[in-house]
Amino acid sequence: MSFSHAGRTLRKVAVIGSGQIGPDIALYFSKVLSPDGVKIVVVDVAADAIAKGRGKFEKKVQKGVESGAFTPEQQQQMNAAMTWTTDYQAIAGADLVVEAATENKDLKGRIFTQVEALVGEDAILVSNSSHLEPEVIFAASRKKDRTGVVHYFFPAERNLMVEVVPGKDTAAATTRWLMSFYEAIGKVPIQVKSRYGYALDPVFEGLFYACALLAEAGIGTTKQIDQVCRQTFKMGVGSFTAMNLTGGNPITAVGLDNYTTKINAWYRTPQSLKDRVAQKANWEVPGRDEKIEVPEALAAQIRDALLGAYFGICGEVLDAGLCTLADLNLGIETALDMKPAFTYMNEIGTAKALALVQAYAKSQTGFPVPRCIEEHGRSNKPFEIPVVLRDDRDGVAVLTIRRPKVLNALDQGVFEELRTRFQQCAADPKVAGIVLTGFGKKAFVSGADVNFLAKITGPAQGEQTSRASQLCVDAIEDVQKPTVCALNGLAFGGGIETAMACEVRIARKGLKVLAGQPEANLGIIPGAGGTQRLPRLIGIEAAAGMLRTCRPVSSEQACKLGLISEEVDGDLVDRAIAIARELAAGKRKRQKLAMGPMANVPTSLPTVEIGHLSRRVDEILGKAILGGARMELRAGIAFEAKCFGEVCGTEDMRIGVDNFVKNGPKAKAAFVHR
């Protein structure tokens, strides 16, 4: 058995190092690859490290069983996939090797020299370094084109972020495969250029350094600074606590001194950190339930200093061109669990952000004011932070919705960005076709962001909200170039409504749950064209059944109904690109949706069992389906918006949305049918 992806097959994966992070990397691999029969080998020269790593692995898997994250069958499968050994020969034949040994360039170099003698020419070799450049790690490697850094973050089995850092000799195909592979197994990869520390550690360690400087200056205690830091950046824990939890004092002490020459002169290892390392001591931080008193004036002083440092650090990373703004913002939010810098600057105003950075730079020798913050701050212009990413591939623009934290859910900002991206592609003479897909493998789009629905106060605002979304989806449908939607995972609510505006839809094969219109569960109806396009695609009766019962369909059912044209057992986006090219070249018949009224519209809908769902909402939903079917498509869509507004005036809409926000999607709302 094996796991195949993008032209490569994995039968064995090796993890070298059974210290703090290696067992966690192995745990994630065992979770996602053991169902395909892939063997995971963990190697360490120290027998006690292997024993501790195995114990840590098994303890975490057992906790997963107790919490319901894993079934006993999964536990057995994951344990059976693992080999823990001090014998390097066990690496032989591995298709992917991830080194997670101590952060020492000479040690890493020796390890990979040994590894290259044991694996095939096609094996990919990566280092989970946190700082060292791939050119340094792989300086002595014989075949550098298949090497690179993949930087995991604590805890590696749960933190989804990885930085993929190619070296100057890394083949572009290797980088592409690593990015695609990590996305396929559920991680969130960002590509980062090679520089010591990469993109995210200078943010983590730089903010810690700013905290340490405040403590050394006597501006606050480590407990006070830690608390203000956590509150300011919406972090789970403050910088000092994070350093304790990750055991990061020694590596940060080395990293900060290297940043002095690798990044800028502001960075250095503070004496307080040197002392902690020498004493092997943790920082004094707030206890779990301890309340720390910080006078507001002191809190404001600490907050302003940390904001100035944080914004400046992140701006320097962007100025250095290490990654895109969108990737940096996502990386900070995902890897470091803190409010992303550029979102934060937009919220407070970039002029204020610039003032904070300038004030911090004035107080700190060697601290630069980044060019990007100066340029935006002078005119108080917000940063553009895209979540719909464009990648042109030989005349086909691939648009990817990337909001992994909410499974690519849509809000009005994302709808607007989709409209802009499609219109840009439509106007670009170099683009012959457009492919729309979602990031990851779980969801194309999980639906609408319920938080923006919860803000609707009545019928007028409801109709206006629906109409705003509809106009963005209509803009997708208006594009005359071929448009293909590649459904990489489930498409609920606004997700499938957006997909239906594309000319062709395809999906990954074997998805047990692909598409659904679950709006009635929330006490609302579809508001982005679902009541009109779905009947025109699969027929009124089948569409009404999906809309009124909220029952989703599998990819196989969707194909039989005509909601998608095919299931794909291979690279979904590559197939979508091929279809777009066929349509553009006239080799495939165009499939644009008919814009006129539907024929043979019944006077009423068949009786269906709606269970606990609101009868009042169902009545309005039926009116939208039948009334709109008798109209031209665009008139029907506008009629849907009126019906959506009507629903927003019901008691059941408020009950349904409130229930979802408070209790989650699985809790049934107690509708009153009015």
The catalytic residues are 497, 519
d(CA 220, CA 303): 11
If you ran DSSP here, which 8-state letter would residue 186 be given? T
Rg (CA), the chain: 27
Separation in Å, CA 441 to CA 184, 185, 589: 6, 8, 29
On whether the CB atoms of residues 637 and 532 are closer than 8 A, the answer is yes
Query: What residue type is 438 in one-letter code?
Result: G
Question: What DSSP string describes 506-539?
Answer: EEETT-SS-EE--GGGGT----SSHHHHHHHHH-
Residue 372 forms beta bridges with which residues?
A: none
On whether the CB atoms of residues 416 and 172 are closer than 8 A, the answer is no
Give the helix, strand, coil percentages of the chain, each rounded to 5: 50, 15, 35
d(CA 647, CA 547): 15
SS3 label, residue 36: helix
* Close Cβ partners of 55 (under 8 Å, ≥ 6 residues apart): none
Only one residue has tokens 């269970």, namely 611
* Close Cβ partners of 326 (under 8 Å, ≥ 6 residues apart): 385, 386, 387, 389, 402
Question: What DSSP string describes 405-455?
Answer: GGTT-B-HHHHHHHHHHHHHHHH-TT--EEEEEESSSSEEE--B-HHHHTT
d(CA 518, CA 312): 44
If you ran DSSP here, which 8-state letter would residue 553 be given? B
CB-based burial of residue 134 (10 Å sphere; 0-12 exposed, 13-18 middle, 19+ buried)?
buried
